[in-house]
Amino acid sequence: MAPPTPGATTTSSGITLNVNGEKHTLPVDHRTTLLDALRERLDLTGTKKGCDQGQCGACTVLVDGRRSLSCLQLAVAADGREITTIEGVADGDRLHPVQQAFLDLDGYQCGYCTPGQICSAIAVIEEHAAGWPSAATADVGAETPPPLDPDEIRERMSGNLCRCGAYVSIVRAVARAAEEMQADDAAVKEAAA
C-alpha cells in the first residue's frame, strides 16, 4: 500500500483479521463491511449475504465470542478481534454440537440461512449459560437462568430469519445442542473435581 500523500485523506487501511484462528493482513477500503472482507477478500463464503441491511441474520458471525451481523460491521472495526465464521466452528472433522443437532434434526432446508443460524445459536447457548436474560425471561433477577425452553430459544433467535420456515426444527436443534453442551460442561467440571 502506497503511503498517503501529505494533506490527503486516506480511504483505506491495512488491517489484520484474526479469522478462525488464522491471521490475515490485508488492505481494505474504509467502507468495506466485514461480510465483504470475509467473502470477497478471504474467500470464506460460508457467511451469506442476505438482506445486506442487518435484518435477516444470514451474515451472523462471532466476534470475540459474541454474535455480530457482519453486513453492518466495518472490516476496520474488526481489526485485531477474534472472528469465528461457520468454517471455524467445527473441531477438525468433528462437528460442533449445534452443527450436529441441525444435521440430525433437519434444522435447515435450502441451507442459505444455516451458517448464520448456527453461529447465532452458539452465541445464544453461551449467553443463556452466562445468565443473560432475554425479552422472554420472566424473572430477570433470578440467580440461575430459566430453562432454555422453546419460548426463550425463539426470542433469542428472532434476529435470524429462515425463508423456508424450518423454525420448528431449528428450535429443537438449539435445545438439543444446549442440553448436550451443558452435559459436556458438567462432565468436564466433574472430572476436574
pLDDT in tens, 59-115: 999 999 999 999 999 999 999 999 999 999 999 999 999 999 999 999 999 999 999
Pairwise CA distance, residues 181 & 176, whole Å:
9
- Report pLDDT for 10: 83
Q: How far is CA 188 from the centre of its chain?
A: 24
Nearest residue to 155 (alpha-carbon basis) of 177, 132, 176: 132
Q: Which residues pair with 13 in a beta bridge?
A: 28
- Residues 64, 103, single domain; the answer is no
Q: Kindly report the CATH number assigned to the domain that includes residue 17.
A: 3.10.20.30
Ramachandran category for residue 65: left, alpha or beta (phi over 0 → left; psi -120 to 50 → alpha): left
Q: What is the dihedral of CA 135, 137, 142, 147, to 10 degrees?
A: -140
Q: Is residue 108 part of a domain?
A: yes
Strands (E), the chain: 12-19, 22-29, 60-63, 66-69, 82-84
Nearest residue to 38 (alpha-carbon basis) of 50, 53, 26, 56: 26
Domain count for the chain, please give it: 2
Q: Is residue 6 part of a domain?
A: no
Task: Please answer whether residues 86 and 59 qualify as being in contact, where contact means their C-beta atoms are separated by less than 8 angstroms.
Answer: no
Q: How many CB atoms lie within 10 A of CB 57?
A: 24
pLDDT tens track for 15-29: 999 999 999 999 999
pLDDT tens track for 128-152: 999 999 999 888 888 887 889 999 9
Q: Is residue 143 part of a domain?
A: yes
- Residues 140, 168, single domain; the answer is yes
- Report pLDDT for 73: 97
Query: What is the domain range of residue 153?
Result: 97-192
- Report pLDDT for 188: 82
Pairwise CA distance, residues 150 & 153, whole Å:
5
- Residues 110, 188, single domain; the answer is yes
